[in-house]
Structure 1
Amino acid sequence: MKIYADENIERSIIEGLRRRGIEVISAIELGYAGKPDAFHIEKASEIKAVILTHDTDFLRLASNQATQHHGVIFAHPESISIGQCIRGVELIASILTAKDMENHIEFL
């Protein structure tokens, strides 16, 4: 499973996931900081990646029946630590396939 980390995801989470062998594409590293959420969903879909986000706006967009996406993993920044986020994403990536995540939202 490929992960597209939106601009709100801390660098420490991205690096922690990469150290665990998870492919992570960072919106910031791609120069996409400040782009609208719909842009990020489109870019993640183009590369067939699951979006990792702290942004509740993605939940609204992803739950819209008209929006097709490769999945969203939502980690609320006030209720989950960096380590819990890394372990949660790692668990999801080890259990669910990219196909399982299509048009699906997972909450950490």
Structure 2
Amino acid sequence: MPERLQFHLDENVDPDIALALRRAGINVTTSQSANLLAQSDNVQLDFAKTNSRVLITHDDDFLILNSQGIEHAGIVYVQKDAKPIGYIIRMLILLYEVATPEELIGRVEYL
């Protein structure tokens, strides 16, 4: 398990968020960079779990998977178009600074 949070952004999350997080020194993958475009939500979540990455998503299907007891390394859910991109970036950086990977296992954080 890594000492710091690592993120995986599903394909619906603005790639500028990944760019900003990388500039802040945060390890980030995207569906595109991991060759997961058009893969199922289960595949995305499994990739994130296997690689100890917190999944960032706008897709409420991941909330359903969580409620079904699917194991994961953590999910950050942001309702689509509900928050400005700058806010999302700042909150993800804050989460990175204050949380450990162990604290987010099986949890959903809402932004």
Category of TM-score, reference length = shorter chain: over 0.9
Structure 1 residue runs of 4 or more that deviate by more than 2 Å after TM superposition: none
What residue number does 1:38 align with? Answer: 42
Paired residues, what number? 107
Amino acid at match of 2:12: N
Amino acid at match of 1:72: I
Gaps of 5+ in 1: none
What residue number does 1:22 align with? Answer: 26
Using structure 2 for the length normalisation, give the TM-score. Answer: 0.92
Q: Which one is further off, 98-107 or 77-86? A: 77-86
CA distance in 1, matches of 2:41, 2:21: 22
Q: How far apart are residue 63 of structure 1 and its match?
A: 2.4
CA distance in 1, matches of 2:36, 2:68: 23
1:6 matches 2:7: no
Alpha-carbon displacement from aligned partner over 1:47-84 (angstroms, at most 9, x marks no partner) = 0110001111111112222x111000011122111111
What residue number does 1:107 align with? Answer: 110
1:95 matches 2:98: yes
Q: What value does the CA root-mean-square deviation take over the aligned residues?
A: 0.8
Gaps of 5+ in 2: none
CA distance in 1, matches of 2:88, 2:48: 19
CA distance in 1, matches of 2:60, 2:72: 16
Residue identity over aligned pairs, in percent, reads: 29
What residue number does 1:84 align with? Answer: 87
Using structure 1 for the length normalisation, give the TM-score. Answer: 0.95
